[in-house]
Amino acid sequence: MFIQVAALGCALLLSQVEGTTDTPQAETPQQEQSPTGQTPDLPSTSAPDLSEDDPPGFTMTPEEPRPSLRYDQPVVCTRLPPTKEVPSGEYRMQCDPMTRRCLIAPNSELDPDGVETDRPLLRASFCERYETSAATRTREGYRFVPSIAEAPPGWYRDEQGRVMQFNFDLHRRIWLGGAWAPLFRGDDVTRDRIRVDFGIQTEIPGGEEDHRLHRFTFLETELYLGEPSLDVTLLRYDFNVERRVPLFRVTTFFGKPRRWDLGLNLGAWVELLHQESIERGDAELSLLTWGAMHGTLDLWHSRDLVSYVRLRVGPGIERDRTHGITTLVPTAALEGDITLDTDGFHHLLFSVEAEKVLLADRVEGRPLRPERLKFRAGYELILLAINDQPVSLVVDGRGGWRNDFPNLDPTWEWSGQAGLRVSLWAPARRSAPLASAR
Hey, is 18 helix, strand or coil?
helix
Hey, is 154 helix, strand or coil?
coil
Give dist(CA 122, CA 109) in Å, integer: 9
Give dist(CA 80, CA 144) in Å, integer: 10
pLDDT of amino acid 49: 41
Give dist(CA 360, CA 357) in Å, integer: 7
pLDDT of amino acid 438: 59
Distances in whole angstroms, Cα of residue 352 to Cα of each of 297, 332, 372: 15, 8, 11
Domains and CATH numbers, the chain: 75-164 (no CATH), 173-424 (2.40.160)
E strand or H helix at 135: helix 134-139
As averages over each run of 10 residues, the pLDDT of the chain (438 residues) reads 43 41 36 37 36 56 93 94 92 94 96 95 93 84 94 96 96 97 84 96 86 96 94 97 86 93 91 95 92 96 95 98 96 98 97 97 93 97 97 97 92 95 95 80
End-to-end CA distance of the chain: 104
**What backbone torsions phi and psi does residue 252 show, to the nearest 5 degrees?**
-110, 150
Q: Which tens digits make up the pLDDT trace of 223-245? A: 999 889 999 999 999 999 988 88
CA 148 centroid distance within chain: 21
Q: How many CB atoms lie within 10 A of CB 212?
A: 15
For residue 317, the 8-state DSSP code is E
pLDDT of amino acid 186: 76
Give dist(CA 373, CA 359) in Å, integer: 19
Give dist(CA 23, CA 65) in Å, integer: 65
pLDDT of amino acid 18: 41
Residue 74, amino acid: P
pLDDT of amino acid 2: 42
Give dist(CA 221, CA 201) in Å, integer: 12
Q: Which tens digits make up the pLDDT trace of 4-45? A: 444 444 444 434 434 433 333 333 333 333 333 333 333 333
Give dist(CA 333, CA 358) in Å, integer: 17
pLDDT of amino acid 262: 83
C-alpha closest to that of 316 among 247, 270, 366: 270
pLDDT of amino acid 53: 43
For residue 45, the 8-state DSSP code is T
pLDDT of amino acid 363: 92
**What backbone torsions phi and psi does residue 173 show, to the nearest 5 degrees?**
-170, 170
